[in-house]
Amino acid sequence: EKIIFNGELVERTGINIDIEDRGYQFGDGIYEVIRVYNGKLFTKEEHIKRLYESAEKISMELPYDRNSLEEQLENLVKENQLKTGIIYLQFTRGVAMRAHGFPGDDVVPVFIAYTREVERPESSMKNGVKGILVDDIRWLRCDIKSLNLLGNILAKQEAANHGCFEAIQHRSNIVTEGSSSNAFVIKNGELWTHPATNLILNGITRRVILDICKEQGIQVIEKPFTVDELLDADEIFISSTTSEIMPIVQLAKNTKSDILLNEKTIGDGKPGQLTRKLQELFEKEIEKQCYS
Ligand code: PMP
C-alpha cells in the first residue's frame, strides 16, 4: 500500500514529517476526504474545487494545478487497488522555524494523501443512529476545511461519551451542523438546513442532496433553524462523505447542557419516509457516477 508524499508514490514508513511542519505545530493547513466507490472518486471535481477554495481562504498557494492533483489521486487509488473506501489528503503550509506569521515564499506546502478501505455504513443508514445536541464552540470560519479541528473533536467526543454517533452543534439557539457532517430537518415535507455561510462547512454531500431535491421538486429551505424546531422535526438526518445520508432517530440527554432535559425519539424512532427517499436517490447518484 502506497501513499503520496509531496507528489511521489512512496511507502508509508518511508517518509519523515518535520517537527516544525506548520500542520503539526499549528494545524496550519487544509484537507479533503473523498469517497471511492467501485474504484472511482465520487464528486471528485467538487472536492478538488473546495480544496483550492480552502487554500485560497488561508492564503496558501498549492504547488500543483488541479489536473495534476487529480491525476495523482487517481494513480494512488489504482496503485492501492482501492474499491470501496476513502482518500484522505492534506496540505500544510510547510516546514519553517516556529513563528506564527507566514513563512517566506521559499517555503512550500507539504502534501500527503493516502487511501483507506471503508465500508459503507449500511446498517446504520438503514436503522438510524443517535445524536446529541452540543454547544458550537468553534471559530467563525467553519467554511474552511482546515486542519484545526479541536472544536469538532471535543463535540464528537461528547457524542461518544453519551453513546451517540454524532454531535449536532448549535450556536446559541441556532442549529449549525454536526461535528463532521451537515444537519437537516424535515418538517411537513420541507427540507431545512443551515445556509452555506461562514458558520458551516458547505458539505459536498449536502450539495448533492440539495441538487437532488431541486431535480425532484422537493422543497428546500436554506435557513437557520432553532433547537426547538429541530426537536419538533418530523425527521432529522446528517450528511457527510463517509456517512452519506444518516438518519438521526433519537436525541440523547446531554448531561452537560440544559438544552435537552430528556432523551427524545424522533418520529417513530425509525428513519422517516423522505429521508429514505433521499437515500434511494443518493444511491442512484452513486450508481450514475461510479458504476456506469
Ligand atoms: N461539516 C463538517 C464540520 C465536516 O467536517 C464535514 C465532513 N468533513 C461535513 C460538514 C460534510 O462535508 P462533506 O459532505 O463534504 O463530507
For 174-233, the pLDDT digits (tens) are 999 999 999 999 999 999 999 999 999 999 999 999 999 999 999 999 999 999 999 999
Average pLDDT taken over every residue of the chain = 97
Residue ranges lining ligand 1, Cβ < 6 Å: 33, 152, 177, 180-182, 201, 203-206, 239-241
How far is residue 166's CA from residue 193's CA, in Å, rounded to a whole number?
A: 16
Question: Which residue CA neighbors atom 4 of ligand 1 most closely?
Answer: 180
ipTM above 0.95, yes or no: yes
Residue indicated by cell numbers 419538533: 232
Q: How confident is the model at residue 278 (pLDDT cuts 50, 70, 90)?
A: very high
Q: Which amino acid is at 208?
A: V
CA of 71 to the centre of ligand 1 (A): 23
Examine the pLDDT at 258 and tell me if it is beyond 80: no
- CB burial class (10 A; 0-12, 13-18, 19+) of residue 278? buried
Give the pLDDT confidence score for residue 261 in this predicted structure: 66
CATH 3.30.470.10 domain locations along the chain: 2-117
CA of 179 to the centre of ligand 1 (A): 8
* Nearest residue to 130 (alpha-carbon basis) of 238, 246, 257, 249: 249
Nearest ligand 1 atom to the CA of 177 is: 1
198 neighbors 141 (Cβ within 8 angstroms)? yes
CATH architecture classification, 122-290? Alpha-Beta Barrel (3.20)
- Domain spanning 2-117 has what CATH number? 3.30.470.10
CA of 204 to the centre of ligand 1 (A): 7
CATH 3.20.10.10 domain locations along the chain: 122-290
Query: Tens digit of pLDDT for each residue in 72-112?
Result: 999 999 999 999 999 999 999 999 999 999 999 999 999 99
Task: Name the residue of 41, 179, 241, 278 to mutate for ligand 1: max ligand atoms within 8 A of Cβ.
Answer: 241
